[in-house]
Chains A and B, each alone.
Chain A
Amino acid sequence: MRAPTGIPELDAMLHGGLMRGDVTLVVGSAGTGKTTLALQYLINGAMKFNENGLYVTFEQMPAQIYRDAANFGWDIRKLEAEGKLRVVCTSPPVLAQFVESRNPIDPIIVEINAKRIVIDSISHLESFIPAPELRGELYRLVNHLKMKELTSVFTAESHEVFGDHLVVTGVGLSFLVDCIILLRIVEVQSSLKKALTVLKIRGSDHDKQLREFEITSQGIEVGVPFKDLEGLLTGTPRRTTEERFAEAFLKAAGKGK
């Protein structure tokens, strides 16, 4: 029923992993780690769970992806040679052909027996498909992937790095996908930290806490929930009332001595 990401804490948050056959949206601003998370999902699928994967990229060239992945110890070229992973670099008009009966992506899925797919990023389709048709075309793409029984991850760029006005995507994609993972940069005591939360999973419970995560030499590592802070998603958290009360109490107690 589940396709584990292979990131233990994230899988625990998802109660075992992504729901098999679902489409998950990983949304975040530039530099939050969307591509790393998506790649890690595919690499772990191929290496740990015997589930081959296809990575579709638009702007980022495969050579750069190979290099960046090597920094985490992931040898994509080797996985490609073994037929476990394939990186396809294309443009939105070609991906749009994917839903046609004859298209360039299907033969690759069959060839490597792909069970997982990443489209990085779905935001690029917005520049190609006219706005009135976009939601309908995304709906078609989502259903096409489901019919192929692929467990899919779309990345999407959020333009707001900070602020309390969070728009996941402008075309209602959040209603079309089954799961949303939000990556966010937050400022805590004058330091920039990365936060991750699961906004929704259709048909399943999930951890609703906002957790700190880091991009380490092994990839993404999710840590403990942020404590004693509220308003983290605005990017500028405040201490909770309880925390402020506790501090005031301790100060008063100190004066009384």
Chain B
Amino acid sequence: MQWWCTATGEQWTWAWRAYPGVWLFVAAVVLASRWLVGAGAWRVAKAGPRAAFVSGVILLWLSLDWPLGPIAAGYLTSAHALQFVIETMLAAPLILVGLREAFDARHGVRPIPGPVRLLLHPLVAAILFNAVVAATHVPSVVDGLMPTGGGAFLIDASWFVAGVAFWWPVIMPAPSWRHFGVPLKILYLLIGTLFHTVIGMVMLAAEHPLYGIYELAPPILPIPPRADQQLAGGIMELGVFFIIVVGSGILFFRWAERDERRV
């Protein structure tokens, strides 16, 4: 039994496999969330945030576990891209949306320790996120890490953590930053994900498959590796763009609504 989904090079079968590391990771995310907001806060949470949190956790689990997890780890670049989009652009923000009110209720305006505050500064978070995105899409890094349990875990976990760091300044109430209002948040989302566009374009335009593990994997679909890579590029481009547009739209309309109420 493998503890985490890796690139095995074995023929794909639809026989279910257990990946206990995935269950432990998802459980750890739930426990960390509980620690962050406290058990009591969770009990009084409204239905909306609770649904967002549960959806985020389920999406995180589905993206990491069988079948998407192993397919993304060793068979299809497009599945890898889909997993990336789910982890960083859906699961991470949904979980934060679910925690937002409870976090606010528990911590209020209590100051956040310096190092954590620095990590959650929009500029630092954006740089960290893009650095992780860049590093984890370098072909030699992917080919080197995905065949090992530790390496594959490092990539998956870093995506989720970087996703949380990226969305934190936009969704969470603290730490608060002067001038970082809704217009800047929208700009932050658009500029902060520009690097995805570059990676997506590289995947779309590359003359050869970039990643050896997917190029040499036993075929799972009747599409050549380069077409699969182009599909991955499309998922990176359109998937992220769509989510950022929806996220920015939500931010804008809530802002406009608040403004209207004030008036």
Say whether A associates with B. Answer: no
Taking beta carbons and an 8 Å cutoff, which residues of A are in contact with B? none
Taking beta carbons and an 8 Å cutoff, which residues of B are in contact with A? none
